[in-house]
């Protein structure tokens, strides 16, 4: 993918408009959520769904480890707290 370089202006209200060719290239549609990340004086915009999918992938091993660690607690019939919670469902 080639880089697209555009000059845009900031309005009195601090708003910017993304040029049509940039929106089309990034597949940004009306109503899409964007994440704004700032580090020092640099700003990056990314579609929220892309960040969410990357984050989900990053944490999948942690979720699996947590589930494995807690399985012994969930399966322990002598544990009154979990047993009572399961009965309420």
Q: Total structural domains in the chain?
A: 1
- Whether pLDDT at 89 is above 70: no
Please check whether residue 36 lies inside any domain of the structure: no
Asked whether 62 and 71 are in contact (CB, 8 A), the reply is: no
Cα angle 68, 74, 78; round to 5: 135
Asked whether 9 and 16 are in contact (CB, 8 A), the reply is: yes
Please check whether residue 14 lies inside any domain of the structure: no
pLDDT average, residue stretch 16-31: 93
Which domain, by its residues, includes 72? 50-88
Please check whether residue 45 lies inside any domain of the structure: no
Please check whether residue 66 lies inside any domain of the structure: yes
pLDDT of the residue at 61: 75
How far, in Å, are 1, 7, 16, 43 from residue 10 at the CA level? 26, 10, 5, 14
pLDDT average, residue stretch 18-42: 93
Please check whether residue 74 lies inside any domain of the structure: yes
In this prediction the pTM is 0.55
- Specify the 3-state DSSP secondary structure of 36: strand
What tens digit of pLDDT does each residue of 38-86 get?
A: 999 999 999 988 887 777 777 777 777 777 777 766 666 666 665 666 6
How far, in Å, are 22, 28, 60, 64 from residue 50 at the CA level? 16, 11, 16, 22
Please check whether residue 80 lies inside any domain of the structure: yes
- Tell me which H or E stretch contains 1: none
Please check whether residue 56 lies inside any domain of the structure: yes
Please check whether residue 77 lies inside any domain of the structure: yes
pLDDT band per the 50, 70, 90 thresholds, residue 88? low
pLDDT band per the 50, 70, 90 thresholds, residue 19? very high
């Amino acid at each position: 993918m080639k880089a697209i370089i555009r000059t845009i202006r900031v309005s009195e209200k601090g708003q910017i408009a993304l040029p049509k060719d940039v929106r089309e290239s990034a597949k940004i549609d009306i109503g899409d959520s964007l994440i704004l990340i700032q580090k020092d004086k640099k700003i990056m915009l990314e579609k929220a769904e892309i960040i969410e999918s990357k984050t989900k992938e990053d944490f999948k091993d942690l979720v699996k480890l947590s589930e494995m660690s807690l399985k012994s607690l969930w399966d322990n019939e002598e544990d009154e707290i979990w047993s009572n919670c399961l009965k309420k469902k």
